[in-house]
A and B are shown apart, each in its own frame.
Chain A
Amino acid sequence: MEVNPVIEVKGLNFSYNGAEKVLDNVSFELHKGEILGVLGPNGAGKTTLLKTLLGILKGTGMVRILGRNVASVSPKSLAKIIGYVPQEHHIVFPYKVIDYVIMGRAPHHGMFSVPSRKDYDKAYRVLDDLGLGSLADKTITEISGGQFQLVLIARTLVQEAKILLMDEPVSHLDISNAVKTMNLIRKLVEEKRILGAIVTLHDPLMASLYCDKILLLNKGRVEIYGSPREALIPDKLSQVYGVNFNIIRYNNKYILVPII
């Protein structure tokens, strides 16, 4: 059987006003069991890329998700495939964790229905599974940033999403929570609970530790795309970030360390 990519992007362009290209001829693939790290300085187009994959923004070029053109998939069907963990999260109403997580069932419901007992069972199972069971009745303003990040991931699991798109999931977390979050994503992929994940990251070190493929964006263009070994080229990275890097081999991984 031919192995189809989970997500296939070819020649993707996007601009907000028709003038400056925010995404410029972006191509890459996400394969089964992979975590793709999208790196790049601020304004490189990382968030825009995720939003085009989600169909929130419409670019030109090809975006195929599980072999289907994303433009031809309804938001509801797409939501059963892709789970999105946004970066900025402005909490207006202090919902309880369980009420928040249960919203992942929305793609499986219509406009006028409410979640059932079964939906709740599923949500509690996922929370227990991620070790968040004790938080279920707390409000999301009462829990820590690291816990909230896990709650967001729990929501995508309740959603039964097969692919995770995460926007800077660890940028505002301390190292212990960042590692916990990334370990969880790794585990989900390894246990085949999700087909793959695309994670935008600020920190090249995190990308080198956790990602199977790295996509380095700069001003909307793909600077580098490949496995950490292929992609982590110190010269290229220095050009993009304006800082020099060293590559260290550690535990069979290629780790990127800035030279200070």
Chain B
Amino acid sequence: MENIYKILIVFSLPAAIILSLFIGPYPIPPGKVLQILFNALVCNPQLGSAASRIVLYYRLPRVLAAALIGIALSISGASLQCMMRNPLVSPYVLGITSGAALGAAVALAFLPLFIPVELVAMITAIVAYLIVVAIAWGWGRGSIISLVLSGIVVNALFSAGLSLAEYFAPNPDKVAAIVFWLMGDVGQAGQWPDIIRMALIIIPCSIVLVMARWRLNILSLGDDEARSLGANPVFERLFFASVAALITASAVSYAGIIGWVGLLVPHIVRLMVGSDSRQVIIYSFFLGGTYLVLADDLSRAMTSQVIPIGILTTIMGAPILIILLRRAGKVWR
């Protein structure tokens, strides 16, 4: 059964990506879409037709952006849950989201237009994470609880900063822009250069976490046992957490706050293929991509207007998690 799930999860990602290319307000027959894709793959994109341009410059980058962001949030969530020994940890525990949100708000409200919002968001997200680590390292010697607690503190602090930025925003349009950014939107990252910049961080960092998948099992035993098995838990956790933070910061700074994916996907994966980190990391990678691609399809196709994906993932995620927790009650006592 586990093996069937594994195959399904792996193939769900390419399947979801290809199927999603068929969806959009401008009707293009699936055969035509595939032909356009094939032409592009053999380096003969016929950009003359509107259909080609829609598929290659609008739908494909958007779908790939959704897949990348889903992968980013899921794999960082899965690895953080393991290394922090807490299945309720999400990628947002390390202060990254509120850091990115504050940066984006400041950029949208006060900074000149030529400064890219995602760059400012990325910088503040990383600053927020470094503050979390500094506090956890300085006062808690890098223990799990000190990381989580300082994450909560920094999140609260930066959220207050976000409120200030909204309060002092020069006009209501800017407030609206901030609010919209906070809801999350894959379309913000839906241009080829954005995707390439995102992929350059997310893909190598994900490979690091995938390679370290077994080590995360060892760290999940707790510091004393990990140490007795020859690991250096404090240093290793900090290293892997930084990798996960970089992945999350990259996704969030482009697409805004997309909730629940990083918490939910690893849980679904655990119920399908078991708790071993080696499996959880790899299959969270695939299922995370699928989940966000499908969520983005819904956000594009449900109504004539695009619904912010952050709202959708939360609406979809809450009932799924309730069902999962009910089932997981048996597993986790």
Counting CB contacts under 8 A, is A240 at the interface?
no
Contact call B86/A79, Cβ cutoff below 8 A: no
Of the residues B224, B228, B332, contact of A83 by C-beta under 8 Å: B228
Counting CB contacts under 8 A, is B211 at the interface?
yes
Contact call A99/B217, Cβ cutoff below 8 A: yes
Closest to A90 in B: B222
Of the residues B227, B229, B275, B332, contact of A104 by C-beta under 8 Å: B229
Cα distance, A84 to B226, chains bound together (Å): 10
Cα distance, A94 to B274, chains bound together (Å): 8
* Binary CB contact string for chain A from 96 to 110 against chain B (1 if under 8 A, 0 otherwise): 100100011011010
Contact call A103/B85, Cβ cutoff below 8 A: no
Counting CB contacts under 8 A, is A56 at the interface?
yes
Counting CB contacts under 8 A, is A143 at the interface?
no
Of the stretches B127-135, B165-173, B230-238, the one at the interface is B230-238
Cα distance, A80 to B230, chains bound together (Å): 8
* CB-defined contacts of A78 to chain B, threshold 8 Å: 230
Segment 63-115 of A: residues with Cβ below 8 Å from B = 74-80, 82-84, 86, 90, 92-96, 99, 103-104, 106-107, 109, 111-115
Contact call A75/B231, Cβ cutoff below 8 A: yes
Contact call A93/B82, Cβ cutoff below 8 A: yes
Counting CB contacts under 8 A, is A141 at the interface?
yes
Contact call B276/A96, Cβ cutoff below 8 A: yes
Main secondary structure of the interface of B (DSSP, over half): helix
Chain B nearest Cβ from A163, distance in angstroms: 12
* Binary CB contact string for chain A from 143 to 187 against chain B (1 if under 8 A, 0 otherwise): 000000000000000010000000000000000000000000000
B residues touching A (Cβ–Cβ < 8 Å)? 82, 85-87, 211-215, 217-218, 220-225, 227-232, 236, 270, 274-278, 331-333
Contact call A111/B230, Cβ cutoff below 8 A: no
Contact call B331/A141, Cβ cutoff below 8 A: yes
10 shortest interchain CB distances as A-B pairs: A79-B230, A107-B230, A84-B228, A76-B230, A93-B275, A106-B229, A112-B211, A114-B214, A92-B85, A99-B276
Counting CB contacts under 8 A, is A125 at the interface?
no
Counting CB contacts under 8 A, is A54 at the interface?
yes
Contact call A112/B215, Cβ cutoff below 8 A: yes
Contact call A94/B236, Cβ cutoff below 8 A: no
Of the residues A56, A99, A109, A111, contact of B236 by C-beta under 8 Å: A111
* CB-defined contacts of B229 to chain A, threshold 8 Å: 79, 103-104, 106-107, 159
Cα distance, A40 to B224, chains bound together (Å): 22
Name 27 A/B residue pairs within 8 A (Cβ), A-sorted: A51-B224, A54-B228, A56-B227, A74-B230, A75-B231, A78-B230, A86-B222, A86-B228, A90-B85, A90-B222, A92-B220, A94-B275, A94-B331, A94-B332, A95-B275, A99-B274, A106-B218, A106-B230, A107-B230, A111-B212, A111-B236, A112-B211, A114-B214, A115-B214, A139-B275, A141-B331, A159-B229
Residue from the set A109, A111, A159 with the largest chain B CB neighbour count within 10 Å: A111
Contact call A96/B333, Cβ cutoff below 8 A: no
Contact call B217/A75, Cβ cutoff below 8 A: no
* Binary CB contact string for chain A from 35 to 58 against chain B (1 if under 8 A, 0 otherwise): 000000000000000010011100
Closest to A113 in B: B214
* CB-defined contacts of A109 to chain B, threshold 8 Å: 214
Closest to A140 in B: B275
Contact call B227/A111, Cβ cutoff below 8 A: no
Closest to A109 in B: B214
Segment 180-208 of A: residues with Cβ below 8 Å from B = none
Chain A nearest Cβ from B160, distance in angstroms: 32
Contact call B227/A114, Cβ cutoff below 8 A: no
Known: A56-B223, A76-B230, A99-B217. 7 other contacts (CB 8 A): A54-B228, A78-B230, A93-B277, A94-B331, A106-B231, A109-B214, A114-B278
Residue from the set A56, A106, A113 with the largest chain B CB neighbour count within 10 Å: A106
* CB-defined contacts of A84 to chain B, threshold 8 Å: 224-225, 228
* CB-defined contacts of A111 to chain B, threshold 8 Å: 212, 215, 236
Cα distance, A114 to B277, chains bound together (Å): 11
Of the residues B217, B224, B333, contact of A95 by C-beta under 8 Å: B217
Closest to B276 in A: A99
Chain B nearest Cβ from A143, distance in angstroms: 13
